[in-house]
């Protein structure tokens, strides 16, 4: 049985001490790599460094695989400086881009979740300018998001760094930009702003929607206001309607009106659907007089885009206080020459049944 095979068996069994003694009999780079990999998996950084030092004494230059194993072992260290140093050493080798990106993510990701985030900027610059190594886009996303949440001014430099390395501002980065702008509405980074506008995807407000659904309504409204004021961005109509419907169903009248005000500042013109959400908010908050007042105003306007529709009259049918009122709005609904669906018919019947 060859020494390499014996060493592999011992490493697999966890007998690294015995495997290490075999290295002295017939030194070989592949055998050293096998032992270093075993120690790296067990997070024994000292042993990894010691074996690599022995390789240098024997004029055995570490392979790319050994350098990768060392970086893996370093990724468990609490010393951020040693982590980044090992990554720089790996960048100077001939390891493939795919291998480097995997190790880079493993080393940098824990640092992104700590207060040491500012140390990554110079490191990323060194990797790019000295070794022509671009940090994976996913790492830029982590860095940008955490800087945005912390409100740090380093955020702008991180955005600029991302663009210089050839990346475009996709959805997650744009989300982070909105969060940062909400914290700093008076600061606009001119070189980045045109690209942000041109590449704004339809799902830009994904993170804000998640925050909204989690109950962070005030934060969401602030993000909507500040992003519009600072960037003059037209709101995504489906997302705005989602916010409106959510607030209306909960009877949050003031929030519903606030979102409508934000919409009116864009090119989006209000439609009957917009006012139906406000009407629903009034209904859910038991404000019958406000519902009646709103419907009367809509009828007086006689504007084609603001004419009451089936949904308008369905809401009024449901909150009617007398049988006569219920039948009146039902008659208005039937005059629209629009067939109600099964759900709407069920709602009408349920409302009529209240009065016998």
- Give DSSP secondary structure letters for 323-340: HHHHHHHHHHHHTT----
Of all helices (H) and strands (E), which one includes residue 242? helix 237-249
Is 166 inside a domain boundary? no
Within 10 angstroms of residue 8's Cβ, the number of other Cβ atoms is 18
Residue ending a domain, among 77, 110, 143, is: 110
Contact (CB, 8 A) for 131 and 92: yes
Q: Which domain holds residue 98?
A: 1-110
What lies within 8 Å, CB to CB, of 299 at 6+ separation is 308
Is 332 inside a domain boundary? yes
Residue ending a domain, among 110, 134, 159, is: 110
Q: In degrees rounded to 5, what are phi and psi of residue 26?
A: -145, 90
Q: Which two tokens stand for residue 340?
A: 């109600």
316-354 confidence digits (pLDDT tens): 998 888 888 888 888 888 888 778 888 888 888 888 888
Contact (CB, 8 A) for 298 and 275: yes
Closest by Cα among 133, 52, 121 to 92: 133
- Give DSSP secondary structure letters for 143-208: HHHHHHHHT-THHHHHHHHHHHTT----HHHHHHHHHHHHH-TT---TTTHHHHHHT--TTTTHHH
| DSSP character at residue 56 | H
d(CA 173, CA 192): 12
Is 145 inside a domain boundary? no
Number of structural domains the chain divides into:
2
d(CA 40, CA 50): 12
Is 64 inside a domain boundary? yes
Is 79 inside a domain boundary? yes
Residue ending a domain, among 76, 95, 110, is: 110
Is 314 inside a domain boundary? yes
Q: Which two tokens stand for residue 262?
A: 């934000």
d(CA 314, CA 220): 30
d(CA 318, CA 315): 5
* Claim: this prediction has a pTM higher than 0.85: no
Is 322 inside a domain boundary? yes
- Model pLDDT, residue 49: 72
CATH number of the domain bearing residue 19: 1.25.40
Q: Which two tokens stand for residue 231?
A: 């960037």
Is 85 inside a domain boundary? yes
Closest by Cα among 294, 301, 217, 233 to 268: 233
Contact (CB, 8 A) for 258 and 248: no
Residues of the chain with pLDDT under 50: 189-191, 199-204, 230-232, 235
């Amino acid at each position: 049985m060859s020494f390499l095979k014996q060493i592999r068996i011992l490493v697999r069994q966890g007998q690294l001490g015995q495997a290490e003694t075999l290295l002295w009999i017939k030194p070989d780079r592949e055998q050293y790599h096998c032992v270093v990999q075993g120690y790296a998996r067990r997070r024994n950084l000292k042993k990894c460094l010691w074996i690599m030092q022995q390789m240098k004494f024997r004029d055995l230059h570490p392979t790319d695989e050994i350098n990768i194993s060392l970086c893996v072992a370093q990724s468990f260290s609490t010393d951020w400086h040693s982590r980044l140093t090992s990554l720089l050493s790996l960048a100077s080798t001939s390891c493939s881009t795919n291998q480097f990106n995997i190790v880079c993510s493993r080393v940098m990701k824990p640092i992104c979740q700590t207060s040491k985030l500012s140390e990554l900027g110079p490191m990323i610059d060194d990797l790019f300018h000295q070794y022509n190594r671009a940090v994976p886009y996913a790492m830029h996303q982590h860095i940008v998001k955490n800087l945005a949440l912390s409100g740090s001014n380093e955020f702008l430099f991180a955005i600029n760094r991302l663009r210089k390395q050839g990346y475009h501002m996709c959805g997650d980065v744009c989300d982070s930009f909105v969060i940062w702008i909400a914290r700093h509405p008076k600061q606009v980074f001119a070189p980045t702003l045109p690209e942000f506008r041109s590449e704004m995807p339809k799902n830009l407000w994904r993170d804000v929607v998640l925050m909204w659904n989690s109950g962070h309504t005030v934060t969401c409204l602030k993000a909507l206001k500040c992003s519009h004021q600072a960037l003059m961005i037209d709101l995504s109509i489906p997302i705005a309607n989602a916010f409106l419907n959510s607030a209306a169903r909960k009877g949050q009248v003031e929030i519903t009106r606030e979102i409508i005000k934000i919409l009116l500042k864009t090119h989006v013109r209000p439609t009957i659907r917009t006012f139906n959400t406000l009407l629903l908010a009034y209904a859910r908050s038991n404000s019958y007089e406000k519902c009646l007042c709103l419907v009367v105003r809509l009828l007086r306007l006689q504007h084609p885009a603001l004419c009451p529709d089936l949904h308008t009259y369905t809401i009024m049918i449901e909150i009617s206080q007398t049988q006569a009122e219920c039948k009146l709005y039902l008659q208005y609904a039937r005059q629209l020459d629009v067939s109600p669906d099964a759900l709407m018919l069920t709602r009408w019947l349920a409302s009529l049944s209240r009065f016998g």
